Chain A
Amino acid sequence: MTKFLAPACLLTTAFLSAPSAAPAQESDSQVRVVVTEGVRARVAVADFQQRGSQEELERHTRLFDDVLWNDLRRAGVFELVPKSFYPLQLPSQPYEVNYEEWTAEDVQAQNLVYGNSYMQRGQFVVEARLIDVNTRESIVGNRYRVDPDEEGVRSLAHRLADEIVLRIGGGVRGIASTQIAFVSNRNGHKEIFTMDYDGYGQKALTNHRSISLTPRWSLDNSRIAYTSYHRGNPDLYFRTVYDQRLIPFSHRGGLTTTPAFAPDGERIAFSSSKTRDPEIYVSDLRGRQLRRLTRARGVDISPVWNPKSGRQIAFVSGRSGSPQIWIMDEDGSNLRRLINEGGEAVSPSWSPDGVHIAFSWRRRLTGRFDIYLLDVVSGRFSQLTRDGANNEHPVWSPDSRHIAYESNRFGSRQIFIMLADGTQKEQLTRQGQNTSPAWSNYFRR
């Protein structure tokens, strides 16, 4: 009955590869989804050397070191060499690098990140280098400068981390500079919030004092589409992220919700109950050129585009009696159900590389929702959470390596992130109840 993903080497498209250290969590499970192909690069990240003695420089440099380390750890594609193994004298400039020390038996770094920091004309400046210790090649040599505040220092570390991941992490850009939108009731009403991908800088995007739900980022991250009741009816709105303008999308009556921006940037799929039954529609961004895609009794909701092809839509339908994930072409044809095992399968999220659909599934045998991963081509699936709590609403990061989701494993509903192989789970929110994460796309550099 249950088709598990075979060992990772059998994956047709190896978007993920098995970290050799990740053991299967259940004896019957052969699933091992992997984030890097082959062995993870062993990377040393030396604390940056301060050129100056200002208290401010000290503080920013320590924060920078900390954020950079955590970004590279979270990336899931490196094996970071613990700092206690490093030589006592850390390099600040190329001529200070003692290669033998970094290749010594107890360090064995393949790559080294190092550099220096200083204050210049009121700005915090970092000179960063990434080298291959074995070939002594320089891979990255960049100078970054930012306004000296916490936000600036963090964004600087994120930019460097993304660059390092791109260069030695398998050719995919890092996600340290991305954001996550979510729904929080911490101020007494459900409002849309945003935060950095690591949970820092949580702030309210809306202040409707009503019910606001189902946030989704536009392709260029300039807008967040969501459903709000603040004018009485659950309608769809766009909120511009930078100047916070509110643009109504539809007032056709009934429920309008679960927006999904098409990869072409010109269309949007959503669910509307204007016929008194929630169905999937596609229109342009102004709600014109409306096309109805589903015609079935039962809820049709939560559409997601195949981000790679832009030609298919997965969605949740209750037409078979209980909520299940279905898939169809962008014109509504070629309809089929993705999983035939029963239970309740909801909240599909299609990985940006098009290979997998993550979803939450309550199978009869567990009685709880857990996050699963489905290989769209083979139809095999694997389970990513199994902690006895409800784990729901997975969404992919733009690098197809991470998943954000909501879990009540510590009581209240909170947002977590993890690697797509189910490891490195990390809680990002703590205040109030936090649900419905939506991962941004890459920001333009």
Chain B
Amino acid sequence: MKNRKFLNLAALCLFALLIAISGGCKKKVPVAPPEEPPPPPPPPKPTATLSANPTTIQKGKSSTLTWSTSNATNVSINQGVGDVSTSGSRSVSPGSSTTYTLTAKGEGGSVTASARVTVTAPPPPPPKPKKREPTVEEMFTKKVKDIYFDYDKSEIRDDARATLAAASEFLKKYPQVSFTIEGHCDERGSEEYNLGLGDRRANSALSHLTSMGISSSRVKTISYGKERPQCTESNESCWQKNRRAHFVLSR
């Protein structure tokens, strides 16, 4: 009995198989298509471009990203730029070399475009001004200042004494320094008398310095009379500026 049952099952399966095979063969038989509306055209794929200008910047400087897209509804740029309009430009200032990727999404899918901004190291910062020693010339200018005189006088005034004291302090510290004392006058009076007066002013400054221990062998004097005025207006404030002894470092 048991075998019969098996045989029956086998026969059933075989039958089912036959039906299945016969059904499969039926496909090769042409059949009339069913009546349906044409499918819509697939939405166009978006396009996108992205460029950076300049492509290489120094650290701290900026570059401009410029992009344009088509068929996109949503455009974004990574690296913290975020959503942007479908075309445009934006200045970026990356801290290190960065590839910016723009993603444009639309009905037809999404597309990406990239641009790289290379960041170079900034030029070495100007070396921190080290606490350097001022040059002798700078110190001379600072310490050995003009002295001023009264009209038609070559005597050293009290204010000039203080100036010359400061000067002699410096000059003693730098005994290698030699210099010229120029004597100058204001515009009043004859050219000739003023040549003499300027000479006396220069020598008056010199003799004051020698009295403070500065050797006259370091010093040359010259009178410019009224030929080289500091100031050219005809008033007392200007005249006072011109009645002076001026010190010039020798080279």
Determine how close the nearest CB of chain A comes to the CB of B182; give it in whole angstroms: 11
Q: How far is the CA of A233 from the CA of B221 in the complex (A)?
A: 9
Pair A360/B193 contact, Cβ less than 8 Å: no
**Contacts known (A346-B190, A346-B192, A393-B190); A299 close to B207, Cβ less than 8 A:** no
Tell me which of A211, A299, A323, A393 has the highest count of chain B C-beta atoms within 10 A of its own C-beta: A299
CB contacts (< 8 Å) of B195 on chain A: these are 213-214, 227, 234, 255, 257-258, 278, 301
How far does the Cβ of A319 sit from chain B's closest Cβ, in whole Å?
11
Interface membership of B138, Cβ < 8 A: no
Query: Lowest 3 A-B CB distances belong to which pairs?
Result: A299-B196, A278-B196, A346-B190
Residues in B neighbouring A435, C-beta threshold 8 A? 191
* Contact mask for chain A residues 259-274; partner B; CB cutoff 8 A; 1 contact, 0 none: 0000000000001010
Check if B227 is an interface residue, CB within 8 A of chain A. Answer: yes
Q: Give min CB distance, A273 to chain B, whole Å.
A: 5
Is B193 a contact partner of A299 (Cβ separation < 8 A)?
A: yes
Q: Which residue of B192, B200, B228 contacts A277 across the interface (Cβ within 8 Å)?
A: B200
A277 CB, nearest partner CB in chain B, Å? 7
Given the contacts A211-B227, A234-B222, A323-B152, A316 and B193 also touching, CB distance less than 8 Å: yes
19 A-B pairs with C-beta separation under 8 A:
A190-B227, A211-B228, A232-B222, A233-B222, A234-B195, A254-B199, A255-B195, A255-B199, A255-B223, A257-B192, A258-B192, A273-B203, A278-B199, A316-B193, A323-B189, A344-B189, A347-B190, A393-B190, A436-B191
Are A273 and B196 in contact, with the CB atoms below 8 A?
yes
Tell me if B147 is interfacial: C-beta within 8 Å of chain A.
no
- A250 to chain B minimum Cβ distance, whole angstroms, is 15
Query: Is residue A300 within 8 Å, beta carbon to beta carbon, of the partner chain?
Result: yes
| Interface flag for A276 (CB, 8 Å) | yes
Contact partners of B206 in chain A: CB under 8 A: 276
Contact flag A302-B223 (CB < 8 Å), given A276-B206, A277-B203, A278-B199:
no
Which chain B residues lie closer than 8 Å to A213 at the CB level?
191-192, 195, 225, 227
Q: A213-B195, A299-B200, A301-B195 are in contact. Are A273 and B223 (CB under 8 A)?
A: yes
Interface size on A, residues (CB 8 A): 37
Q: Is B48 an interface residue (CB 8 A)?
A: no
Question: A273 contacts B197, CB within 8 Å?
Answer: no
Question: In the complex, A254→B181 CA distance in Å?
Answer: 12
> Chain A residues near B227 (CB, 8 Å)?
190, 211, 213
A300–B196 touching, CB < 8 Å? yes
Which B-chain residue is minimally distant from A359 (CB atoms)? B190
Interface size classification for chain B: 20 to 34
Q: Contact mask B159-198 → A, CB, 8 Å, 1/0?
A: 0000000000000000000000000000001111101110
Could you tell me which residues of chain A, from 178 to 217, have a CB within 8 Å of some CB in chain B? Answer: 183, 190, 211, 213-214
A157 shortest CB reach to chain B, Å? 34
Is residue A322 within 8 Å, beta carbon to beta carbon, of the partner chain?
Answer: yes
In contact, B196 and A346 (Cβ under 8 angstroms): no
The B-contacting residues of A in range 272-314, CB under 8 angstroms, are 273, 276-278, 298-302
The docked-state distance in angstroms from the alpha carbon of A211 to that of B190 is 16
**Residues in A neighbouring B193, C-beta threshold 8 A:** 299, 301-302, 316, 318, 323, 346
1/0 per residue, CB under 8 A from A, across B216-251: the answer is: 000001111101100000000000000000000000
Please provide the chain B residues from 99 to 157 with a CB less than 8 Å away from any CB of chain A in the complex: 152
B192 and A276 contacting across the interface, CB-CB below 8 Å: no
Name the residue of chain B whose CB is nearest to the CB of A321: B152
CA distance A435 to B223 in the complex (A): 19
| CB atoms of B197 and A299 under 8 A apart | yes
**Docked complex Cα distance between A435 and B222 (Å):** 22
Residue A392 at the chain B interface, CB threshold 8 Å: yes
Asked whether B203 lies within 8 Å of A276 as measured between CB atoms, the reply is: yes
Q: How far is the CA of A190 from the CA of B228 in the complex (A)?
A: 11
A257–B207 Cα distance when bound, in Å, is 22
Interface contact B192-A347, CB-CB below 8 Å: yes
Which B residue's beta carbon lies closest to that of A299?
B196
If A234-B222, A318-B152 touch, whether A392 touches B190 (CB-CB below 8 Å) is yes
Residue of A183, A254, A360 most packed against chain B (CB within 10 A): A254
Are A318 and B207 closer than 8 Å at their CB atoms? no
Query: A271–B190 contact, CB under 8 A?
Result: no
Q: Report B-chain residues with C-beta under 8 Å of the C-beta of A362.
A: 189
- Fill in one digit per residue for A226-263: 1 if any B CB lies within 8 Å of its CB, else 0: 01000011100000000000000000001101100000
Give the complex CA separation of A321 and B189 in angstroms. Answer: 14
State the CA gap A233–B223 with chains docked (Å). 9
Q: How far is the CB of B72 from chain A (nearest CB, A)?
A: 73
Residue of B nearest to A393 (CB): B190
New A-B contacts (11) at CB < 8 Å, excluding given A276-B207, A346-B193, A436-B191:
A213-B227, A254-B221, A255-B196, A257-B195, A273-B196, A273-B200, A277-B200, A302-B193, A316-B190, A323-B152, A323-B193
A227 to chain B, nearest CB (A): 8
Select the residue from B193, B222, B225 with max chain A CB neighbours within 10 A.
Answer: B193
Instruction: Out of A190, A273, A360, name the residue touching B199 (CB < 8 Å).
Output: A273
**Nearest CB in chain A: distance from B67 CB, A:** 63
CB distance from A424 to the nearest CB of B (A): 24
**Would you call B190 and A360 a contact (CB within 8 A)?**
yes
Min Cβ gap A237→B in Å is 15
Using a CB-CB cutoff of 8 Å, which residues 373-429 of chain A contact chain B? 392-393
- Chain B residue contacts of A346, Cβ below 8 A: 189-190, 192-193
Q: How far is the CA of A213 from the CA of B223 in the complex (A)?
A: 13
Are A214 and B191 in contact (CB-based, < 8 A)? yes
Q: Is the CB of B223 within 8 A of A301?
A: no
Nearest Cβ distance between residue B197 and chain A, in whole angstroms? 6
A-contact bits for B52-77, CB 8 A (1 contact / 0 none) = 00000000000000000000000000
**Least CB separation from A190: chain B residue:** B227
Q: How far is the CB of A361 from chain B (nearest CB, A)?
A: 11
